[in-house]
A = this chain, B = another copy of it.
Amino acid sequence: VTTSESTLLKHIYARSAALKSALGDALEIGPGDDCASIHVSDGSLLLTVDQLVEGRHYAPETPVDLIARKCVARSVSDIAAMGGTPLASLATGALRTTFERENELFDAMHRWANEFGCPLVGGDIARVDGPTVLTCTALGTAHPTRGVVTRAGATVGDGVYLVGRVGGSFASGRHLTFRPQVEDARWLCDALGVSLHAMLDVSDGVGRDGARIGEASGVCLEIEAARLPLHDNAHDWRSAIGDGEDYVLLFTSDRDPGDVCAATGEPITRIGRVRACGASEPSCVVVTPSGERLDATEFGWDHRGA
């Protein structure tokens, strides 16, 4: 590491003092040694990593606090998508040589990681002659009774549900300020138990992500366009089903969860149902208000750039 990187790492280690409280006795060794060490209990450990690329997942002029927030929140949202509870995280930054607010960035990552219940226990920093590339690895524990909720359990006859609203996330800036639905996912596990069949967080649009559940489960998710719960700034159902970066839970269940999450107050909307999938049929179809049946993946978000 260069001298400036050593200084920056020391700054980060200093921040680790705050970790003790956030992780409690589970944190055995924080940042500053070759590895962090945390105490884990016998069970399922959830693991995920995501990258955040400047100019792709955020515009260069984005406030540092929101860059940090999005970087952590995306990985925490993946933990929620499996019904898990965040445990700890590690972050890396390959920072554009001209980026000078590195202390502020890593302070903000620490703060958001704590806020989301997923304290940073390690990391690495380098300089790069190109766009900044951040990563966040998140660990979580599975729900104690429901276990790990995958994409593969959707069953013919299930209802298809969304927690919260979708559409217009990039245009509104919500892709930077969303709250990972950790409490919502835990409540669904509590309330539905084994009837919570399949779940994920919508990152590439309801159409594409719905097809992921359909594909993994060997079924077809049929979504009614008119039922999609739109954000005020979402133009119409097409943008709502195709826009990405919503980071809301999409799940299927054979039990009605009711129309609100009691833990958070988020609306829960039944947007369709699970059907058997014909031989060459798409894994997710959208039924338009005029009754057309379209391949829902055609509306998927492609992360075309910030």
Interface, chain A (partner B; CB < 8 A): 1-3, 28-29, 32-51, 53, 55-56, 78-79, 81-82, 84, 88, 90-92, 94, 121-126, 128-131, 133, 135, 137, 139-140, 142, 148, 150-152, 200-201, 204, 216, 302-303
Contact = CB atoms under 8 A, between A and B. Distances in A.
In the assembly, how many copies of this chain are there?
2
A133 to B, nearest CB: 4
The 5 residue pairs across chains A and B that have the minimum distance between CB atoms: A130-B130, A34-B81, A35-B46, A35-B48, A34-B78
Chain A binding surface, main DSSP class: strand
Contact of A140 (B32, B35, B131): B35
A40 B42 contact: yes
Nearest to A198: B33
A51 B130 contact: no
13 contacts: A28-B148, A29-B148, A33-B152, A35-B48, A35-B81, A36-B48, A40-B42, A42-B42, A47-B90, A48-B90, A49-B124, A135-B135, A137-B137
A248 B78 CA distance: 36
Contacts of A39: 43-45
Nearest to A244: B1
Given A34-B151, A124-B135, 17 more contacts: A2-B303, A33-B82, A33-B152, A33-B216, A35-B46, A35-B140, A36-B47, A37-B45, A37-B148, A40-B42, A48-B90, A49-B135, A53-B94, A55-B129, A56-B126, A90-B137, A130-B130
